[in-house]
Structure 1
């Protein structure tokens, strides 16, 4: 089973690389504002997870520079479990007004990104 998952994961990464979406073009001033806003966001993810790929494709489509955190690393896994409440990816960590919100599910994350940045 591990070998099948590994092969499928690599196929997903290859197809994502070959068919990467085009980045949204903004004026430099507007992109700087967006970049400042995305500094308070972090995406906890696995590289070959299809749902994580879906969120990363949306981030690329909107030209968002969100910090990517590998949830397979023990310290990141511990933070995700302790602060977020469960070990599930993708998970978007949103720091806003001194509060931290954890947003799970790829559809919810892409909807949030579209509402906030599109």
Structure 2
């Protein structure tokens, strides 16, 4: 279902802002200088910096983000100490499915890291 959502999701300004910062930075040091007015942690921008060196198409960010969001759901479903109903309800609730699954921001990466800790 998330794949269908990603294919039909029109990226918002804040999603493309991170992509453009990463794409238009010439080096990692330049990226940090360009991020001086950003309110998000640098990890997402660093990941996008590497991704923009492989492709200039921002759709790659959406598919990479979908991969991370799928990893979040897998880690939660595999290791969370809850019953199957709670795991299913969490997976298809608003935040994991829409906010963390479709909108390409740093939130899914943060969830992925936190679930491993």
Instruction: Output the TM-score relative to the length of structure 2.
Output: 0.28
Structure with greater contact order relative to length (CA < 8 Å, sep ≥ 6): 2
User: Which structure has greater strand proportion?
Assistant: 1
User: Which structure has greater helix proportion?
Assistant: 2
Instruction: Output the TM-score relative to the length of structure 1.
Output: 0.28
